[in-house]
Amino acid sequence: MFRNALRMEPLYDDASHLTHFVGIIRDVTYASNIDRLTGLLDRYGLMDRLAATSTTRECSLLLVKTDIIKFHDVNNGFGYEVGDALRRVAAGRLSTLPAVAIARVGTNSFALAFELEDVGRASDLVASVVDLLGPRFLLPGASLAVRFAIGFAVGPAGSNPLHLVRQAGAALHRSKVKPDHPPLAFAAEDERNARNRIRLANELQTAVANQEFILHYQPQIDLESGDLVGAESLLRWSHGVFGLQSPGLFIGVAEETGAMLEIGAWGLRTVAAQAARVNRERRTPLRFAFNVSALEFLRRDMVAFVRRVLDETGCHAEWLTLELTENLMIPEPDDIRQAFGDLRRLGVGISIDDFGTGYSNLRYLERFPLSEIKIDRSFVHDASHSVAKRIIVESVVKLGSALDIRVVAEGIETEEERAIMQAMGCSIGQGYLFAAPMDELKFGRLLSGSGAGSGWGARRRPIMIEDERG
């Protein structure tokens, strides 16, 4: 048994009738341009194959790129062996398609090229890719329903293959950011958006030095007393051309380019300084939460950095909570766990954001020294009409109580949702019912106007009158 590459070349007579094929088979077990995990071409092999294909016949090429959505969840929840098995099985399914080239071009990304006599067949071929990847994946130790994002582009076989790959990649990016991840064809706007991302990447390098970042604060309310007890600090980029940018539009680019290190350092110092200013004369201090990127834990000594920030700003450790998303747990889990433990011993809070949306959240309760979990807004929204949502929330609250972990309900927008969360024992609420995220000036006005005890619960109306949704 060996990994092989079979190249079948059709031959035609003078009347353009297909007469026979010439086949060449090669042992590629250790060949260059072959992905050793799946036996498919790698990205270099893909480009070589596309260049060769474009010279053989006059036809069009369909280039399809696909990504496994939330692949890190599989690695994190089931182990790297299952992740490898998933990629191998996906590669096996794709290999049954009549493509002239199939490649693994990234950690969890695949590309396929099809020759098209009729451009109208492109949608049928894309649909066949979707159908192949749709059924559950039966893997050793796991049975998974996996979602894929798909982008595709069509061009003449003689055109620049790299350009076609880039177009399919741009369409794939648009598919990945849509909630249902539909297969999408390349559109002119994809190229424009790609150029904008490149521009953003360049401008991010100087954004901190140019003081273009600001923080907005969304209050957190004690659902029992109605008192203001803290705030989540939300990063915004005040771009000179594109205006106020939310994190979803630039954080990914910042992490890819490494600019996130400088942005995160600025954000943490700013939040700590704000906490010190606000709490200096308060009888009951507020907790300030700030989202932290995985890159910061991988590229710097976060414990030493947090200590330095606390010393520089005069912020007490217990006034600061680091909010983490579950993808932070993927690389170097032992090192991450050690850092969490050191931060908790220092007094800094550790919170898991969007709790309940991934494969392995429950494991975090056992493995990591958490002080807080935030119930994702998808479980809070319309909880009054969903028995399942109420059961999930109640279960999380009970787990938090048993483990002495504070529970925060995100995205509360109605009085009914607030009442349900409170009745279930959730201690803290956050959402537009109470206040929208606001800049530092408005947050200061809120603090001076609300006082220490005149909270939302006492007035039965939002504590923030200027409820601007950004």
Number of domains comprising the chain: 2
Tokens of 202: 């360049």
Q: In the prediction, which pLDDT does 5 show?
A: 77
Q: Classify residue 178 as left (phi > 0), alpha (psi -120 to 50) or beta.
A: beta
Question: Is 110 within a domain?
Answer: yes
CA distance 310 to 286: 16
Q: Where is pLDDT greater, at 290 or 56?
A: 290
Task: Please identify, among 196, 223, 250, the residue that sits at the C-terminal boundary of a domain.
Answer: 196
CA dihedral 95, 99, 104, 110 (to 10 degrees): -100
Q: In the prediction, which pLDDT does 383 show?
A: 86
CA distance 353 to 348: 16
> Are residues 246 and 347 located together in one domain of the fold?
yes
Q: Which position among 281, 410, 413, 416 bears the catalytic label?
A: 410
Domain interval for residue 152: 32-196
Tokens of 83: 């992740």
> Are residues 422 and 393 located together in one domain of the fold?
yes
Tokens of 54: 């474009």
> Are residues 108 and 149 located together in one domain of the fold?
yes
Q: In the prediction, which pLDDT does 322 show?
A: 95
Q: In the prediction, which pLDDT does 189 show?
A: 78
Intra-chain end-to-end CA distance of the chain, in Å: 59
| Range list of H helices, 280-332 | 294-299, 302-313
Task: Please identify, among 140, 168, 196, the residue that sits at the C-terminal boundary of a domain.
Answer: 196
Question: Is 39 within a domain?
Answer: yes
Q: Are 84 and 107 in contact (CB under 8 A)?
A: no
Tokens of 353: 């954001």
Question: Is 17 within a domain?
Answer: no
> Are residues 237 and 184 located together in one domain of the fold?
no
> Are residues 343 and 449 located together in one domain of the fold?
yes
Taking alpha carbons only, the member of 169, 74, 59 closest to residue 114 is: 59
Partners of residue 235 on adjacent β-strands: 215
Question: Is 178 within a domain?
Answer: yes
Question: Is 122 within a domain?
Answer: yes
Beta-carbon-side half-sphere exposure of residue 377 (alpha carbons within 13 Å)? 9
**Percentage of residues in the chain having pLDDT higher than 90:** 48
Taking alpha carbons only, the member of 76, 107, 108 closest to residue 326 is: 76
Question: Is 179 within a domain?
Answer: yes
Q: What's the gap between Cα 14 and its chain centre?
A: 55
Question: Is 131 within a domain?
Answer: yes
Q: Please write the tens of the pLDDT for every residue from 251-293.
A: 878 887 788 899 999 999 999 999 999 998 899 999 999 999 8
pLDDT surpasses 60 at 55: no
> Are residues 148 and 231 located together in one domain of the fold?
no
203 is catalytic: no
Residue the block writes with tokens 């004369």: 281
CATH number at residue 107: 3.30.70.270
Supply the pTM of this predicted model: 0.66
> Are residues 321 and 440 located together in one domain of the fold?
yes
Question: Is 201 within a domain?
Answer: no
CATH number at residue 273: 3.20.20.450
Taking alpha carbons only, the member of 120, 117, 87, 88 closest to residue 100 is: 117
Residues 6+ apart with CB under 8 A from 388: none
> Are residues 346 and 447 located together in one domain of the fold?
yes
The 3-state DSSP class for residue 277 equals helix
pLDDT surpasses 50 at 17: yes
Other Cβ atoms closer than 10 A to 75: 23
> Are residues 136 and 280 located together in one domain of the fold?
no
Q: Please write the tens of the pLDDT for every residue from 379-436.
A: 898 888 889 889 988 988 998 889 899 999 999 999 999 999 999 999 999 999 999 9
Kindly state the average pLDDT of the residues 308-320: 96
pLDDT surpasses 80 at 124: yes
> Are residues 153 and 279 located together in one domain of the fold?
no
When computed from its CA atoms, the radius of gyration of the chain, rounded to whole angstroms, is 26
Q: Please write the tens of the pLDDT for every residue from 287-299.
A: 999 999 877 887 8
> Are residues 175 and 127 located together in one domain of the fold?
yes
CA distance 320 to 230: 10
Kindly state the average pLDDT of the residues 34-49: 90
Residue the block writes with tokens 């606390």: 310
Report how far apart, in Å, the C-alpha atoms of 253 and of each of 12, 73, 204, 260, 323 are: 49, 21, 9, 9, 20
Other Cβ atoms closer than 10 A to 414: 16
CA distance 172 to 185: 8
> Are residues 165 and 269 located together in one domain of the fold?
no
Instruction: Flag the least confident range among 7-16, 143-152, 383-392, 450-459.
Output: 450-459
